[in-house]
Structure 1
């Protein structure tokens, strides 16, 4: 399964009461596919505020996204957690909902060993026929899925990709030793071009909510051998890559991108506690950034 080069980790739109806004969700899916050039959408990932979505909400989101996208892009369901049995349950339900693949985050808080991580992902992968994308984000989970364990998992037939937020050294190790067909995605927008340069396949992006065509142009320029143009675009949009997470001090994802979407005319509502909306100072910074 090739999820494309530009994958957007989609926000979850909420109404004024903090409930999922289904009409806006449909408009957002159309906007990301048609205007922002997303080739796949991650639904109920970190950017989708998965920690505060119920299982029923997640499954309804999966069903809605599959139906509304109608084959125009692939839908990847975020079904990972720190409970293996629960992840298996949600993964199997997502498969029944018709999604194209699943995203499995490294278990957080309980900090398993590398063997525990291997057995966790192996058990979930063997419970489904869907292609699996691993998701290593040590800064959020408190645990690092090592390159060696990632490569071990890459030999499981339906473990086809990883979204990697560790160091370039770890990315390089994985890319250089991965079996043929195993795809490595960056998970940090500012690393899109460096990841491509060391042989990575693409990016699971947040910035692509608002600068998707520009990111696609940067990716295509690099792949076509126009490295100078790709580097120019990387430099031009680097302030956005960094600013949506550091405005003017680190802002939890997806607070900033939801605000910027609103500035762009795509109003997706606020965030659920324990996240809070941007401060006046942050709002002013993001207006200038956009």
Structure 2
């Protein structure tokens, strides 16, 4: 299986009573697919899974899986433990699990490889490794990423290394697994290097333009792709002016697409000035 294209790591909308707004989540999932997204991600970090109860998580998965089934769209589900991965055997729509590099403990590259080898062996679906060192505290070199690619049942990596460096370039030369960009501001140069697509929170907004960016780079139309990438980068920067997904949710609420801009602690709602800046950049895209 080769993952490619644009995946939207869906936010979890909340109603005025603070409960998960499943109807709004379902509408949002349909909207982004209508606008050109390839697939959906449920319970990624953008979905605030750490603040959801187990019943809420199950409801989110069921809702997004239903949309994926109706639209024949691939679904990736955030799952970081052996138990969460095992539960995906009951989600036939799930084509992969998004599994973060173990945060905080900094086990070293050998520990990371052993960890994913064990998870992948028992997982009922392929694993997409979520490499985001500025959150996990564990940097992975190109050699470690190639080691992950060699593990059976590891389908690819969501790469959010914080920019482009020599390890990024070396990793992109390995054809064995998919690279999906996860640093929204840097998605255009990563696609230029050969990334297969992206898992992009910013693409809740301007979904069609992000999908077009991926299509243009993959078609080899560097001139148009470069220009579009330059136009999209300020939007991504604005949407990440505060901890994700606070500004994304505030912008979606301003558009009338979700009932409230609310997030759950420890996140705080976005400042109105940052929301206004994001909406300004969105309007400039046309």
Q: Which residue of 2 aligns with 1:89?
A: 83
* Contact 2:2–2:177 (CA under 8 A) maintained in structure 1: no
Q: Which residue of 2 aligns with 1:25?
A: 25
How far apart, CA to CA, are the structure 2 residues paired with 1:243 and 1:279?
Answer: 12
Q: Residues 204-254 of structure 1, C-alpha deviation per residue, up to 9 Å, x if partnerless?
A: 1111111111112222222222211111111222210211112xxxx0000
Aligned residues: 277
2:280 to 273, 283, 288: 288
1:257 aligns with 2:248: yes
How far apart, CA to CA, are the structure 2 residues paired with 1:283 and 1:197?
Answer: 29
1:215 aligns with 2:210: yes
1:57 aligns with 2:51: no
Q: Residues 129-185 of structure 1, C-alpha deviation per residue, up to 9 Å, x if partnerless?
A: 311100110111111233222211211221011011114222212121x2x441111
Label 1:220 to 1:123 Cα distance change in 2 as closer, same or farther (>3 A). Answer: same
* Contact 1:106–1:135 (CA under 8 A) maintained in structure 2: yes
How far apart, CA to CA, are the structure 2 residues paired with 1:126 and 1:18?
Answer: 38
- What's the offset of the Cα at 1:59? 2.6
- What's the offset of the Cα at 1:116? 1.4
Q: Residues 184-217 of structure 1, C-alpha deviation per residue, up to 9 Å, x if partnerless?
A: 1111122222112112111111111111111122
Unaligned ranges ≥5, structure 2: none
> Structure 2 matches for 1:192-203, cutoff 5 A?
192-203=187-198
* Contact 1:59–1:94 (CA under 8 A) maintained in structure 2: no
- What's the offset of the Cα at 1:287? 3.7
Q: Residues 78-113 of structure 1, C-alpha deviation per residue, up to 9 Å, x if partnerless?
A: 012xxxxxx000111123222221001011122212
Q: Which residue of 1 aligns with 2:167?
A: 170
Q: Which residue of 1 aligns with 2:267?
A: 275
Moved more, 199-208 or 65-74: 65-74
Moved more, 146-155 or 277-286: 277-286
Label 1:199 to 1:282 Cα distance change in 2 as closer, same or farther (>3 A). Answer: closer
TM-score, normalised via structure 1 length: 0.90
Aligned partner of residue 11 in structure 2, secondary structure: coil
Aligned partner of residue 257 in structure 2, secondary structure: coil
> Structure 2 matches for 1:103-252, cutoff 5 A?
103-166=98-161, 167-168=163-164, 169-176=166-173, 178=174, 180-246=175-241, 251-252=242-243
Aligned partner of residue 276 in structure 2, secondary structure: helix
Unaligned ranges ≥5, structure 1: 81-86
Aligned partner of residue 47 in structure 2, secondary structure: coil
* Contact 1:3–1:40 (CA under 8 A) maintained in structure 2: no
Aligned partner of residue 106 in structure 2, secondary structure: coil
- What's the offset of the Cα at 1:268? 4.8
Aligned Cα root-mean-square deviation (Å): 1.6
How far apart, CA to CA, are the structure 1 residues paired with 2:144 and 2:55?
Answer: 32
Q: Which residue of 2 aligns with 1:48?
A: 47
Q: Which residue of 2 aligns with 1:84?
A: none
